[in-house]
Amino acid sequence: MSRDSIGITDLEGRILYMNSAGLALVGLDKIDRVDAAFVTDLFIDDQKKKFHDLIMPSINSTGSWMGEISLHHKKSGNAIPGEMNAFTNKDRKSGGPF
């Protein structure tokens, strides 16, 4: 019931879950392989490079990244500026990401 956009991806960026607020934000009714299989499918084009060159390396080295990102509204085509707080979940036993 959160009004914030919440999503879960695997370690490669495949979208596993997105709440209704997140779906509405990017103009989707549901996550469909055609519309958004990877989190980068939701970014405007110039933000995809930022994801690969800055965000993922930060997440892989420190476990988190927080900053500004622009998403792509699938129906209107408009850019949606916002703030992203991304982090890995860690296994309690191994300490590694899962």
41-55, pLDDT tens digit by residue? 999 999 999 999 999
Look at residue 92 and tell me if it is in a domain.
no
In the prediction, which pLDDT does 32 show? 67
Q: Is the Cα torsion angle 28, 16, 86, 12 positive or negative in sign?
A: negative
State the average pLDDT for the chain.
88
Residue 64: domain span = 7-87
In the prediction, which pLDDT does 90 show? 81
Look at residue 98 and tell me if it is in a domain.
no
Look at residue 97 and tell me if it is in a domain.
no
Look at residue 36 and tell me if it is in a domain.
yes
Look at residue 95 and tell me if it is in a domain.
no
Phi-psi domain of 95 (left: phi exceeds 0; alpha: psi -120 through 50; beta: other): left
Look at residue 14 and tell me if it is in a domain.
yes
In the prediction, which pLDDT does 37 show? 81
Look at residue 93 and tell me if it is in a domain.
no
In the prediction, which pLDDT does 33 show? 58
In the prediction, which pLDDT does 11 show? 83
Look at residue 29 and tell me if it is in a domain.
yes
Number of domains in the chain: 1
Ranges under pLDDT 70 in the chain:
32-36, 98
Q: Are 45 and 39 in contact (CB under 8 A)?
A: no
